[in-house]
């Protein structure tokens, strides 16, 4: 689905990703865990080029981009790669002046050039999927944080991306709202949608993941099934991280 090789990212002098090799398998849910500052979000944002890696290669579907420190990638390649994934952010970044329906229609009309009617039909389907069809005409400020995140999920799916990326989708929510968002993601996981999820919700991670990746200090230190990583970690730093959670 997506193949990442020797990926490095530096911000000024700070090296945040130190040579990441990672293949994401179609239909799998991959969860990335690790301490704050370990580079999880930067890796996720690199997958749809919200950040340009400093060096390395990303291949996704028919598009391969090789990043070099001194040269910018071709815009047509960047757009081709971006089109293949949808992103759900930490806290809602819905368009505040648009209804839930409008938010889910927008990219279909603007990017995919669909007719408004076709976009509306698909948007309503997706809002139903996340349990919010009755809120189609509500504006973001009229929705709870959890509902906003569910609209964000519907919006990320609206252009039928091959891959859904979640950047700590519940970290900005009050505890009582977390469950409804995780439930929606779990349902999508059972439908075979390819997902990469950065989260601090370890119980959710163990339930939803086909594969868990532990990152520390810009590197992948552990990569395995939830049972392997949570119950039989091979790396001392993984053990330490998991022990601090309990």
Q: Which position among 7, 30, 40, 220 is part of the footprint of ligand ADP (CB under 6 A)?
A: 40
- SS3 string, the chain, reads CEEEEEEEEEECCEEEEEEEEEEECCCCEEEEECCCCCCHHHHHHHHCCCCCCCEEEEEECCEEEEEECCECCCHHHHHHHHCCEEEECCCCCCCCCCCHHHHHHHHHHHCCCCCHHHHHHHHHHHHHHCCCHHHCCCCHHHCCHHHHHHHHHHHHHCCCCCEEEEECCCCCCCHHHHHHHHHHHHHHHHCCCEEEEECCCHHHHHHHCCEEEEEECCEEEEEECHHHHHHCCCCHHHHHHHHHHC
Radius of gyration (C-alpha) of the chain in whole angstroms: 18
Q: For ligand ADP, which is the closer residue by CB, 37 or 192?
A: 37
Spatial distance between the Cα atoms of 58 and 1, rounded to a whole number of angstroms: 11
CB of 37 to ligand ADP, least distance (A): 4
Q: Which position among 1, 7, 16, 209 is part of the footprint of ligand ADP (CB under 6 A)?
A: 16
Binding of residue 39 to ligand ADP (CB under 6 A): yes
Q: How far is CA 10 from CA 22, 45, 55, 109, 183, in A?
A: 18, 13, 9, 36, 35
41-60 positions binding ligand ADP, by CB under 6 A: 41-42
Provide the token pair at 180. 């409804």
Binding of residue 159 to ligand ADP (CB under 6 A): no
93-132 positions binding ligand ADP, by CB under 6 A: none
Q: Which position among 13, 36, 113, 243 is part of the footprint of ligand ADP (CB under 6 A)?
A: 36
Per rule CB under 6 A, count of chain residues that contact ligand ADP: 11
Which stretch in 33-41, 84-92, 152-160, 236-244 sits in contact with ligand ADP by CB under 6 A?
A: 33-41
Which stretch in 10-18, 156-164, 203-211, 238-246 sits in contact with ligand ADP by CB under 6 A?
A: 10-18
Q: For ligand ADP, which is the closer residue by CB, 40 or 120?
A: 40
Which stretch in 31-39, 78-86, 94-102, 151-159 sits in contact with ligand ADP by CB under 6 A?
A: 31-39
Q: For ligand ADP, which is the closer residue by CB, 67 or 105?
A: 67
Q: For ligand ADP, which is the closer residue by CB, 73 or 131?
A: 73
Binding of residue 4 to ligand ADP (CB under 6 A): no
Which stretch in 40-48, 56-64, 155-163, 227-235 sits in contact with ligand ADP by CB under 6 A?
A: 40-48
Residues contributing to the site for ligand ADP (CB under 6 A) = 11, 14, 16, 34, 36-42
């Amino acid at each position: 689905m997506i193949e990442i090789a020797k990926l490095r990212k530096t911000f000024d002098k700070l090296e945040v990703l130190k040579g990441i090799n990672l293949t994401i398998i179609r239909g799998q849910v991959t969860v990335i865990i690790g301490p704050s500052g370990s580079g999880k979000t930067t890796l996720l944002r690199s997958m749809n080029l919200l950040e340009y890696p400093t060096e390395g290669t990303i291949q996704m579907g028919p598009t391969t981009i090789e990043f070099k420190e001194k040269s910018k990638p071709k815009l047509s390649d960047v757009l081709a790669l971006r089109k293949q994934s949808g992103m759900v952010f930490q806290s809602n970044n819905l368009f505040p002046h648009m209804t839930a329906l409008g938010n889910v229609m927008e990219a279909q009309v603007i990017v995919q050039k669909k007719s408004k009617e076709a976009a509306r039909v698909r948007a309503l389907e997706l809002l139903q999927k996340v349990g919010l069809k009755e809120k189609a005409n509500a504006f973001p400020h009229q929705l709870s944080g959890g509902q906003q995140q569910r609209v964000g999920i519907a919006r990320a799916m609206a252009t039928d991306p091959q891959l859904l990326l979640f950047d700590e989708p519940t970290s900005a929510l009050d505890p009582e709202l977390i469950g409804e968002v995780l439930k929606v993601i779990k349902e999508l996981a059972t439908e075979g949608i390819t997902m990469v999820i950065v989260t601090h919700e370890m119980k959710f991670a163990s339930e939803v993941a086909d594969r868990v990746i532990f990152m520390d200090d810009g590197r992948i230190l552990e990569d395995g099934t939830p049972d392997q990583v949570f119950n039989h970690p091979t790396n001392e730093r993984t053990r330490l991280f998991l022990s601090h959670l309990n």
